[in-house]
Structure 1
Amino acid sequence: MALASVPALAARHIQDYGAANTTLQPHWGYASRVLPCTNDAGSCAYLDLVYGAHDRGMIYTGVIYATVGVVLLVAAISHRARRRAALEDELQAVAGAEKTSHQSSVAPASARLAGAAAAFSRRHLLLDTANSPVLRRIFGRTTRLQLVILAGILGYLLLWSFLGMTYQMWITPVKSRPGLHNTRSTLGPWSDRVGVLAFALTPFSVLLATRESLLSLATGVPYQHFNFLHRWLGHIIFVQSALHTIGWTIIEVRLYQPQPSVAREWIRQRYMIWGVVAMILLLLLWVLALPVVIRRTGYEFFRKAHYVLAMVYIGACWGHWAQLNCFLIPGLALWFVDRAVRLGRSALLHYNFLSPESTRMGLAAAQASITRFPGSGSEGDVLRLEFEHPQQPWRVGQHFFLCFPELSLWQSHPFTPVSVPRLEDGHTRHAYILRAKAGQTKALAALAERKLSAGPDAKTAVVLTGPYGRDVTADIKRSENVLCVAGGTGITYVLPALLALARRRHSGGGASGALQLVWVVRRHTDAAWVEPELQELRQYGDVEVCVCATRDETSTGTSVAALLPSSKESAELELSDKASGTSLSHEGVAEMALGSNAQAQRRPDVAALVRAFAARQAAGASVVLASGPGEMLSDVRAGVAASNDAARVWQGDVRHAVRLECDERMEW
């Protein structure tokens, strides 16, 4: 520790840094200790506790980092293993290879155990908080798995907050004021411990919020799935910082004597001024991130204010306790690297080299043609943007952030291309479907209306950043059955995946699983949004399509009733549901799935449809791809959870292993 900062801490640590025949013992992340201790016995024992608890706390932060590293390593290995298995399955199918009789009849015990464990976890942890008003109010629409992970993090941090300290109290004399006594206790080192943990968690909080996510690169989990943990890690850091502040305020304002001179001297020190600034900034960060505040101030204000306040907060933390900058430097570095990579990727994406079609080099925005589908009432218009761009194809399921310079250079929003990524003559075709609700999408709809009124060929400039996310079809084996469920503009997530899977399965040999699409829209005319893609899908005759219009009397494609189970399958569903206390006869499923009211607004029970799809398959596991409103995603999770049966998977019946790929960006 620098000697210049020693006097500010001398009173706090009751050590005489200028005494003769003393040495300074360095402690990583803390003030150096004066040895030998020349204070009274109680003060020396207190200092032993302070420095011992701090040193162990720094070791514990290393253990936390090591634990996170091990978890990430296991997740990365598991991710690579799933990719390898899917690739081997595809290569076997393309080559026309057949499995041996042993492989086709009995799967290895290790594979059955892994499949049973996955089915068990999905059945019990995939359900979300939709059925619990209290949990929904606190945590939002999140899964049990995320809540279990959060509970594990809280328990782990609680353990390290109290471990490695003895809990006692000392009454020590005040040398300058005979008759007065200081009360020294474990409150001091405990307050320091939670403060150190708040510093140590800062890089993790930044890491969970980055769009260019190292976590996604290692595990294959899209960056948006970490938003829940980022928010709650922010809550944890706020609580830890508040407890650290309250603890030392009690000590300096009440337990140390004489008062109020000790408190005045303490609050005037530079490190304390920066501490107060850091706590105020953290309070602002916490308040502005509350959902009710975001709704009132707008998401764009929250996002920009969050960026600025977070960086200034880290700087204030540095001013408060520079000895722990080993935790602050990585947080700053991660943020700046994330921003630099975003800017660099966007610049590279729009940098045009000389080509037969271009007479100059430099940055150029894409020019998107606009097709407008007017909405009725308060529904809002739907816009289709199409353009070609010189770039390599993205992966199916990935999304881009689109910026519209004619509206604002400082806003961008995530959209998934509905077009299948294909490279033709050096260009890749983009097509996007978006609904104009409020904010920039509403402004874009107004811009489109003005341009279309001036002429039939309306275009607007688009700046891309991305792609982000992962290939949702990469882990899907040829033998697996795939159900795509979409609500409204959520079709942009599932339709390209369905087209890619259909094309891939028709290009190779071997048996393939079933492919099915259930698209819930307001009116059957909404199918015009993606007519080119549906025309391509019709080329593959083995893809079952159901377009369910909730506000029309008729639906297109396969009817919902045709997707319901037969009486035999219905009996199996009823049998498998006795443990959960529900019963689904064929008539019961039909009633729930079709549903109706006086306005003929029919919303299918997608949970029943998911279960019916899994039960109807003759062989192979099933995968559900879903995107849509929050209520729909909750129903899909419920259906997938109920379709998993660990006991039957262990017995070798993989039909009862159902996975879910969900586009959680729709929850934003």
Structure 2
Amino acid sequence: MGLVPPMPAVTALATYIHERNSSTCSMDISVELCQSVVLNSKWHDWYYADIMYAQPTVYFYCAGLAFFGIFYSLHLASKTGPYVRSIAGIPGYAKGLAITRSIALRQWRIGRDSGYLLPVGQIIIVSSMIIFFAAMTLGPKPYYWPIPGVFGYSPPIATRAGFMAIAILPFQVLFASKWNFITVVTGLSHEKLQVYHRWSGWIMFVLALIHTFPFIIVDIQMGMMEEMWRTDWYTVSGVMALIPQAGLVFLSYGPIRNRFYESFKFLHFLMAMFFIPILFLHCGFTLTSAYYFVGFVVAYTVALLIRWTRAVLYGTGHHAEMDLISDRMMVITIPTKLTWAPGQHFFIRFLTGDIHMFTSHPFSIASIPQADGANTMQILAKTHSGITANLANLISGQGKAMKVLLDGPYGGLGGEIGAYDHALLIGGGSGGTVVLSAFRHLVQLKGSNCKSISVVYSSRSNETSTWFLDEFGAQINPEAPKVSLDIHISTLISNLDDASSGSAEKLDLSIDSPTSSRSTLRPGRPDIPTAVQDTIQRVVGTLVVIVCGPNELTFDARNTVAREQMKIAAGEVACTECYLHTEAFGL
């Protein structure tokens, strides 16, 4: 290919805005022929491409955020504040809400070990994105000018695809940032926005390909391919930008991302550092393309400043104490004056003195803040490979103290769960931290509507399940709502001398508890669909279901709640509303 063609001087990178009324056609053809092709339409005029394609992309995303922002505001107002009865009393509101949740919550899987599809609600949102960009790309015609170089060099389909791709850029960084305005508006935490970050990234990549290949086709048709590679900066820089962009999207594929997560994070950031500057230079201030880079920089800078400011002011000076409770789990405690809400998580950087100190990891907090401000974060972490395995190796018999940096809190349970009449908390493994946090909050909350709390928890370890049972039991008091604790040890049956289910059921695993509560420790895995269905059919009033655990557990709970929503809509059960909140396993 030879040397890279020189980039045009900045003074030559005109905005062209003053030429919006210029003709796309050259002087070599008649006005009639020009109008017959261009149709006097801004949809086909290169000088209006940013207005007709980039701006509608922004409007599309903003309209979606506004819609879900209104929906989130109604959700909050229906539980707390002066408008609770007014919203609940809207004719058809409860029925419509149940039907909507029944549709949105459903999920399918390819196989138990082959992966899960997105829930229907997310599929609808992603599909609307794909349909919008497909219509905007393929709807207007022509795709190519009848005579390249006469009607204009840039193929129309390439022009509009390029401007739509650029307009996605600011939203990409919003979807990816831990602190972002989308979370403020919609209540969706950063980890729940990752699905839209990935799909927007794929859409942006496909648009970039549609932007690239028509130029290659035209160059070949005009016999200019080799010359453009030698002399045209935009041709070379466009291909240079595609290389890191391809890496960004392909390495984000689920199995690759999950299998090599530490490497993925490093490479993702590294490739983004190359992609954004090259893309900026490629666009060359064409029309208003620079505006979208300004939006990108502002969104990213604000997110970083807020995170770093909070980390510097509040996240330093902390020490973590770590203890193993089994060969798979460790408990981390961090004294702090910081506060957080139930179900929230912090990104913790362990100053281990090795390579792991350069990364931070999310951990959900099992404890809740105290009224006197003397708080202690309690975290249950599974000893995976990477940082948690490294920490497990450092722990001695009496535990190990270590300096940490805190960034957070993030996430949450989507509103005040104490506003519901009943609560069903389902957890598995280290996902029990979210369940324990919600349980402690409901038990200690004064003046809540909650009348009963049912907990279903499962772990592969006898020590872990017993630890959770003790922690749950320690919170129960005479003033607390009625509590039912159903704790399971999923591997217990296989470890018994007599492995038959009959023998296992004869074990006396009941735990003493207050008379208003029931606690059991059972062998085997819990029957999540039955637990959810029985609870919905039993309770009178509103119900919140909180789930955090392995994919299979979340899948069963989600689909059971979705099925039961139709019974709520039809008035077949006394439960008037069932709100499901799921947390990402491992946070």
| Change in CA separation of 1:153 and 1:76 when aligned onto 2, cut-off 3 Å | same
The equivalent residue for 2:447 is 508
**Deviation of the 1:342 alpha carbon:** 2.0
Q: Which residue matches 1:310?
A: 272
1:385 aligns with 2:332: yes
2:27 is the alignment partner of 1:38: yes
Which of 555, 571, 580 pairs up with 1:634?
Answer: 555
CA pair 519-654 structure 1, distance change in 2 beyond 3 A:
same
Matching residue of 2:428: 487
Distance of aligned partners of 1:610 and 1:270 in 2 relative to their CA distance in 1, 3 Å threshold: same
Gap change, CA 1:441 and 1:35, over 3 Å in 2: closer
Alpha carbons 1:203, 1:331 under 8 Å: kept: yes
Matched with 1:590 is none
How far apart are residue 397 of structure 1 and its match?
Answer: 1.0
**Cα displacement string for residues 282-304 of structure 1 (whole angstroms, at most 9, x for unaligned residues):** 122223223344356x2122112
Would you identify which runs of 4 or more consecutive aligned residues in structure 1 move more than 4 Å?
2-9, 32-37, 42-51, 133-137, 166-169, 182-187, 554-559, 650-654
Amino acid at match of 2:359: Q
User: Do residues 440 (structure 1) and 387 (structure 2) align?
Assistant: yes
- The SS at the match of 2:28 is coil
SS of the equivalent of 1:40 reads: coil
Identity %: 21
State the Cα deviation string for residues 68-96 of structure 1 (Å, max 9, x = none).
3233233323323332332249x99xxxx
Q: In structure 2, how many angstroms separate the alpha carbons of the residues matched to 1:294 and 1:3?
A: 38
Q: Which residue of 1 aligns with 2:76?
A: 83
Question: Aligned pair in 2 of structure 1 residues 67, 652: CA closer, same or farther (>3 Å)?
Answer: farther
| Contact 1:521/1:550, CA 8 A, preserved across alignment | yes
Q: 1:54–1:193: 8 Å Cα contact kept in structure 2?
A: no
The structure-2 alpha-carbon separation of the partners of 1:370 and 1:136, relative to structure 1 and needing over 3 Å to count, comes to: closer
For residues 171-570 of structure 1, the aligned pairs below 5 Å read 171=147, 188-254=155-221, 256=222, 259=223, 261=224, 263-265=226-228, 267-294=230-257, 298-322=260-284, 323=286, 324-350=289-315, 363-364=316-317, 366-375=318-327, 381-391=328-338, 393-406=339-352, 407=354, 408-424=356-372, 426-448=373-395, 451-452=396-397, 456=398, 458-472=400-414, 474-478=416-420, 480-504=421-445, 507-508=446-447, 512-530=450-468, 533-539=471-477, 540=480, 542-552=482-492, 553=504, 554=507, 556=509
Displacement after TM superposition at 1:529 (Å): 3.3
- Distance change in 2, residues 1:36/1:115 (3 Å): closer
User: Residue 644 of structure 1 contacts residue 656 of structure 1 at CA under 8 Å; is this kept in 2?
Assistant: no
CA distance in structure 2 between the aligned counterparts of 1:373 and 1:169, rounded to whole angstroms = 70
Residues 476 and 519 from structure 1, CA distance in 2 versus in 1: closer, same or farther, beyond 3 angstroms? same
Q: How does 1:142-181 map to 2 (within 5 A)?
A: 142-166=118-142, 170-171=146-147
Distance 2:346 2:11 in 1: 52
Q: What secondary structure is seen at the aligned counterpart in 2 of 1:437?
A: coil
Counterpart residue type for residue 168 of structure 2: L
Aligned residue pairs, count: 548
Name the SS of the counterpart of 1:191 in structure 2.
helix
Secondary structure in structure 2 of the residue aligned to 1:414:
strand
Aligned residues of 1:607 and 1:635 also touching (Cα < 8 A): yes
Which amino acid in structure 2 is aligned with residue 513 of structure 1? K
Q: In structure 1, what is the equivalent of residue 102 of structure 2?
A: 123
CA offset digits 1:492-520 (Å, max 9, x no partner): 0011112211222xx338x6432110111
Normalising by structure 2, report the TM-score.
0.84
Whole-Å separation in 1 of the counterparts to 2:75 and 2:484: 27
Deviations 1:430-479 (A, max 9, x none): 1111110211110110011xx33xxx25312222110001344515524x
Task: Kindly state the Cα deviation for residue 7 of structure 1 after the two structures are TM-superposed.
Answer: 9.0
The letter for the 1-side match of 2:368 is V
Q: 1:621 to 1:27 in 2, by over 3 A?
A: farther
Map 1:29-108; keep pairs closer than 5 Å. 33=22, 37-41=26-30, 44=34, 52=45, 55=48, 58-88=51-81, 108=89
Partners of 1:67 and 1:652 in 2: CA distance: 39
User: What SS is found at the alignment partner of 1:337?
Assistant: helix
Distance 2:143 2:239 in 1: 28
Q: CA RMSD in A?
A: 3.6
Q: Which runs of 5+ in 1 are unaligned?
A: 10-23, 93-98, 173-181, 351-362, 376-380, 560-593, 595-599
Deviations for 1:91-145, whole angstroms, at most 9, x for unmatched residues? 99xxxxxx9xxx9xx973x2x5222122112222212222x359965xx442111
Other structure's SS at 1:198 match: helix
Using the TM superposition, give the Cα deviation of residue 332 of structure 1 relative to its aligned residue in structure 2, in angstroms: 2.7
**1:532: Cα distance to partner?**
6.1
Amino acid of the residue matched to residue 331 of structure 2?
A: R
CA 1:651–1:370 in 2, change beyond 3 Å: closer, same or farther?
closer
Cα 1:241–1:654 change in 2 (3 A) is: farther
The DSSP-based 3-state class of the residue aligned with 2:525 is: coil
List gaps (5 residues or longer) in structure 2: 1-6, 493-503, 513-520
Contact 1:649 1:655 in 2 (8 A): no
CA, structure 1 residues 124+262, in 2 after alignment: closer, same or farther (shift >3 Å)? closer
Distance in 2 (alpha carbons) for counterparts of 1:144 and 1:476: 28
SS at match of 1:201: helix
Which of structures 1 and 2 has the bigger CA Rg? 1
Normalised to the residue count of structure 1, the TM-score between the two structures is 0.74
Query: How far 1:171 sits from its partner (Å)?
Result: 4.3
Q: Return the letter of the residue paired with 2:565.
A: N
Moved more, 652-661 or 190-199: 652-661
Per the alignment, residue 495 of structure 2 pairs with none
Q: CA deviation at 1:403?
A: 1.1
Q: Using the TM superposition, give the Cα deviation of residue 414 of structure 1 relative to its aligned residue in structure 2, in angstroms.
A: 0.7
Q: 1:405 to 1:169 in 2, by over 3 A?
A: closer
- What SS does the aligned partner of 1:386 have? strand
